[in-house]
Amino acid sequence: MTSTTPTASTGENAPVDPTTTDAWAALGRVKEGFRPDLRAWFADDPGRAQRYTFQAADLTVDLSKNLLTDEILQALLQLAQDVDVAGRYRAMISGEHINVTEDRAVLHTALRRPESGDVEPAKPFEVDGQDIDRDVHGVLHKVADFANAVRSGSWTGVTGKRVATVVNIGIGGSDLGPVMVYEALKPYVQEGLEVRFVSNIDPSDVYEKTHDLDPETTLFIVASKTFGTLETLTNARLARQWLWEGLAKAGAIEDTDESRRGAVSKHFVAVSTALDKVQAFGIDPDNAFGFWDWVGGRYSVDSAIGTSVAIAVGPDRFAEFLAGFHAIDEHMRTAPLEQNVPVLMGLLNVWYTNFLDAQTHAVLPYTQYLHRFPAYLQQLTMESNGKSVRWDGSPVVTDTGEVFWGEPGTNGQHAFYQLIHQGTRLIPADFITVANPPHPLKDQVGDGGAVQPGTDVHALFLANFFAQTKALAFGKTADEVRAEGTAEKVVTARVFSGNRPTTSIIAPALTPSVVGQLIALYEHIVFTEGTVWGIDSFDQWGVELGKKLAQEITPAVTGDADALEQQDPSTKSLIRRYLELRE
């Protein structure tokens, strides 16, 4: 990615106001009277699909069904230059403190820099006195050694039995990333190993994830950088209590503090840098895997936060996963703006959000193993870009942050696609699939009609993928509906307007590398949008107030009358009703 303009302001300086640029004005002029016509655009331009299809590592990305013309594209590319997306990206990967509200570097890209070979920035890569590569790979080697020990059976529980189930306890980025990747890579999970995930402080969560397990073969990973996250530490204590009770009932430990500490040391490890708190909990600090304040939670699955994934799929596969991230990082760094897939997709989101009034963005994976990907992206996108002030503290000058959501195909087709096809709201959608499924099953019987005996079910599945983007783009006219013999009184109900924008992403297979590539793709889409909007995409102050108030309200909920009286009338009334109903 190259830049032809001076580096945009970073640090505490004011960002570029995109609304003052000539590119923004040009996009505004295009918007006036904008009447998209994908049918005509494709008919008039036979090369449209080829021109608007790009390659980023293993990802083939077709942007041709977006509401995009060459005029719009050129204005968007000029906007990227005006705000200097390339310069800010260089600042980020070089370790500048672009997270200004916390005065931190933003170096999730450093988590997947290869240990050997040439890389930019060049080695040794030091930021704030820290040798980044040395520390990152030191932790990765430690995680790999531990993962191998669990997988081989050399790490055992207190009774000498090998681990059968790993339970990851975390919340936010310490949960959403690992569970998404674990589900995506289930075909690679070692036989005889299972990983479960506990995140919610609702006690039903930890109960459901542990009640049918054998404590002698269960390993807990407590993932909390500060080892102080309320939900995570509460669940960790509940899990420790479950472990002690289960082992004692089985006669595996004695009713002594020493015996209980010994059990914790063999059945609990931590992902944290607060070693004093880790040790106080009973976990051996040697079994704590660290990461750094320049890694945001939602960007941390490729750090030690991914220990559960490394155990499940093995260190070699985890290394492939990291290499996938790095491949997209390199594409982002080196591809010209006009061929840079994350930049182009981010710019399209700006076009839809700020000029065409799109409020939401759907992500629709046509691969069941990615069923948690939309939930993962909700945190990545909305916690990053759900901001109303710019990085210098001034109010934003544009709308920011779409609502990301989605569900795997074809399930979503039978739920909400009606609104996408015929509703009144513009909903850009990303369709994601793979050419080669891990389980290529065939329907040997068929249905006697469209599904012939021996039909490749994945091909049947992908026919829906292609059909949906075609239908959204080109729709069906009233004349086409009438030509099918439809009664006139229902013709309008069966018309599809088309011109509903979609991006299609196809990969060869859902490998560890491809999963890493998809995550990095959306990380850099988020970055591009945040740069245009001038916001700090790497803080998350919006989550703090609710957590603080919850701590203040807890006494009222647990029976403190004075604390209850201090609440506002609505909260007080709700708590009283809860206390009346609680048995």
Show the tokens assigned to 80: 């990227």
Tell me: do 376 and 447 sit in the same domain.
Answer: yes
CA 102 to chain centre: 22
| Closest C-alpha among 311, 310, 307, 315 to residue 289 | 307
Give helix 341-354 / helix 315-334 axis angle, nearest 10°. 70
Query: What SS3 state is found at 177?
Result: helix
The pLDDT of residue 448: 87
Based on the domain organization, do 262 and 169 belong to the same domain? Answer: yes
Q: How would DSSP label each residue in 492-547?
A: GGG-B-----EEEEEEEE--HHHHHHHHHHHHHHHHHHHHHHT--TT--GGGHHHH
Are both 143 and 38 inside the same structural domain?
no
Q: How far is CA 285 from CA 111, 262, 267, in A?
A: 22, 13, 13
Q: Are residues 299 and 153 in the same domain?
A: yes
Amino acid at the residue 447: D
* Number of folded domains that form the chain: 3
Band (8; pLDDT cuts 50, 70, 90): very low
In a domain, 494, yes or no: no
Q: How confident is the model at residue 1 (pLDDT cuts 50, 70, 90)?
A: confident
Q: What tens digit of pLDDT does each residue of 478-510 get?
A: 999 999 999 999 999 999 999 999 999 999 999
Tell me what the mean pLDDT of segment 340-346 comes to: 98
Out of 1-5, 23-27, 237-241, 418-422, least confident range: 1-5
Copy the structure tokens of residue 374.
Answer: 């939309």
Residue by residue, DSSP assigns 243-292 as HHHHHHHTTSS-SSHHHHHHHHHHHEEEE-S-HHHHHHHT--GGGEE---
How confident is the model over 440-491, as pLDDT tens digits?
999 999 998 889 999 999 999 999 999 999 999 999 999 999 999 999 999 9
Average pLDDT over every residue of 55-74: 98
Q: Is the separation of the CB atoms in 133 and 124 below 8 Å? A: yes
What does DSSP say about strands 442-443 and 455-456: parallel, antiparallel, or unpaired? Answer: antiparallel
Catalytic residues: 383, 414, 547
**pLDDT above 80 for 5:** no
Q: How far apart are CA 297 and CA 244, in angstroms?
A: 30
- Mean pLDDT, rounded, for 407-424: 97
Domain end marker among 282, 315, 348: 315
pLDDT tens-digit profile of 119-151? 999 999 999 999 999 999 999 999 999 999 999
435 φ, ψ to 5°?
-75, -35
Residue 80 lies in a domain: yes
What's residue 13's pLDDT? 80
* Band (12; pLDDT cuts 50, 70, 90): low
CB 236 within 8 Å of CB 219: no
Provide the CA 96 distance to its chain's centre, in angstroms: 24
**Shared-domain flag, residues 86 and 135:** no
363 CB-contact burial (10 Å; exposed 0-12 / middle 13-18 / buried 19+): buried
pLDDT averaged over every residue in the chain: 96
Residue that finishes a domain, picked among 315, 346, 362: 315
Contact partners, residue 490, CB within 8 Å, separation at least 6: none
Q: Is 556 part of a structural domain of the chain?
A: yes
Nearest to 210 by CA among 269, 155, 169, 176: 169
Which two tokens mark 138? 């030191």
Using alpha carbons, list the distances in angstroms from residue 75 to 69, 78, 109, 159, 531.
10, 5, 29, 66, 16
If asked whether residues 140 and 94 sit together in one domain, one would say no
Q: Is the previous residue joined to 555 through a cis bond, with omega within 30 degrees of 0?
A: no
What mean pLDDT comes out for the span 275-303?
96
Q: CA 76 to CA 96: how far, in whole Å?
A: 26
The predicted-structure confidence for 75-107, as pLDDT tens digits, reads as follows 999 999 999 999 999 999 999 999 999 999 999
Q: Say yes or no: 213 and 359 in one domain.
A: no
Is the pLDDT at 14 greater than 60? The verdict is yes
Domain for residue 156, yes or no?
yes
Q: Is the pLDDT of residue 583 over 90?
A: no
Give the mean model confidence (pLDDT) for residues 300-305.
98
Torsion of CA 66, 59, 407, 527, to 10 degrees: -70
Task: Find the largest Cα–Cα distance for the chain.
Answer: 82
Same-domain check for residues 438 and 364: yes
> Are 139 and 258 within one domain?
yes
Half-sphere exposure of 181 (CA within 13 A, CB side): 39
Residue-wise pLDDT tens digits, 372-401: 999 999 999 999 999 999 999 999 999 999
Q: How far is CA 418 from CA 11, 413, 472, 496, in A?
A: 45, 8, 11, 10
d(CA 182, CA 178): 6
Amino acid at 57: A
Domain span at 51: 18-98+335-405+433-468+507-533
- pLDDT tens-place string over residues 545-563: 998 999 999 999 999 999 9
Q: For residue 204, is it within any domain?
A: yes
Mean pLDDT over 570-576 rounds to 96
In a domain, 457, yes or no: yes
Distance CA(96)–CA(80), nearest Å, equals 20
The counts of H helices and E strands in the chain are 23, 15
Q: Are residues 352 and 464 both part of a single domain? A: yes
Q: Give the global pTM.
A: 0.96
Distance CA 332, CA 343 (A): 8
Q: Is residue 390 part of a domain?
A: yes
Report the percent of the chain where pLDDT is more than 70.
98
SS3 1: coil
Query: Which pLDDT belongs to residue 7?
Result: 38
Shared domain for 526 and 565, answered yes or no, is no
* 305 and 393 fall within a common domain: no
CATH number for 46: 3.40.50.10490
Q: Is residue 426 part of a domain?
A: no
Specify burial of residue 563 (Cβ count, 10 A radius: 0-12, 13-18, 19+): middle
Cα–Cα distances in angstroms (integers) from residue 126 to residues 95, 98, 106, in the given order: 8, 16, 13
